[in-house]
Structure 1
Amino acid sequence: MKVNNICIFCKGIADTREHIPAKQFFKGVPDKPLITVPSCKNCNIGFQKDEDFFRQFNAGFLMDRSERAKELMENEITRSIQRKPALGHQMFNQMWLVDAYTKSGLYVGKMTGYKVSDLDRKRIDRIVTKIIQGLFYHEFKQHLPKDWKVRIVWIDPKKSKELSLEELAKTLKWNIIKDDTFAYGVNYVSETYQSMWIIDFFKVPCFYILLMDKEAKHNRVEYNRN
């Protein structure tokens, strides 16, 4: 069976296509520039609740820094919450305003804070894993091996500094799907496709991901230098 006839998530028969990330991030954008991958209807349906939460989390958390996130929050997400209020109540109960400062200590006003529970983190990591499976297929035209390690790092100022992500980002090949909504960067090992990724939502780096096979976790990995 051809790879494009197999669901990249469950390895069953693909009977539909899945947007990477979910189409709900791209209201009003035609399909042509968006990424789609082979999927099955069961996997498509199985991701929906967590993807709703993932979109609301990202837009709610970043609406202070992105006009697009704010627009999404005030329109499509607000209407979605009105239809399904339980998820909205949960999200807003975990949000609060915090004092924000520049690196030099200058106060710049209030920003939205969000308390992430263990359950929330699992749901978000599940969707990040789904996105990276889709991007892996899109880039390399093959399925992410099931036994590979997927390491997800949530990017915050401390992690960004620890991992020198600003410099790392310069070594990646970037693909901007929609300038104000989603982009990703990737660098990989020739032939094996072990890889490092940075995923941006609303022009903000959100997740750093490493994809490695079991043996590579214990050895130095040399990435391409473009």
Structure 2
Amino acid sequence: MSDWIAAERGANGLHGWRMPDGFTAQAADMKGITAKLGNGLPVVMIGEGERTLPAPVIAPPVKTGDHWAIKGLRQATPEDRLGAEIAILAGLVAPRPRWDGVVCITGARSVWAHVSAGEVISFRSFVSGILAGALSAGDPVGGAGFDTALEEVVTRPERLASLLGQGGAARIWGALIGAEIAATKPYWLGQQVLLAGPNPYAGALRDQGVPVEIFDKESMRLEGLKAIWTTRE
């Protein structure tokens, strides 16, 4: 496989990967990315443009001017958009073309997607990680405070604001993830969940009797990019 560059736009510029090996670089613009990862290589932007649901997870990248684009997804009701996460989703789904279940990609912004036979049927996104950061909760943590807050908010979502007001990183994370688990019950109830990213989401789901498989998010991103790139026309 010839080398190429994948890039994702973020709040602080671009993050790039030289494929297929996955060497990474960050820069303010594409000129900086190509200078670090290799001039003259094909470039594909992740999450640029949109496809409407239902839509295949893995679709050929589109040639746009001087680069290729891996389009994200747009959902009309409830209104939502899935951007660069499409690569991670592709990495999880590529080896499972006939699989039916739910994918959860965690992080600052988490995404829950219902997938059936390689197509995204619906999805929801949440900003639990961003809210935790705004409340100075740091990275996801567990512990007794986490478990108690999570269980309380799953069963009584109206307690969310009160628990957040009590402070403490474990309690904040437990309350936020508990609210997310409660809100996504129509997704995970009776389904298998493929989970990519930081946990303690896995334990929270297993406590609800949900079968969960855990995957490394960065590995899935690279595998997804490879799977999408090979479909180009």
Question: Which TM-score band applies after superposition, normalised by the shorter structure?
Answer: under 0.3
TM-score (norm 1): 0.26
Query: Which has the higher relative contact order, 1 or 2, with Cα contacts under 8 A spaced 6 or more apart?
Result: 2
TM-score (norm 2): 0.26
Larger strand percent: 2
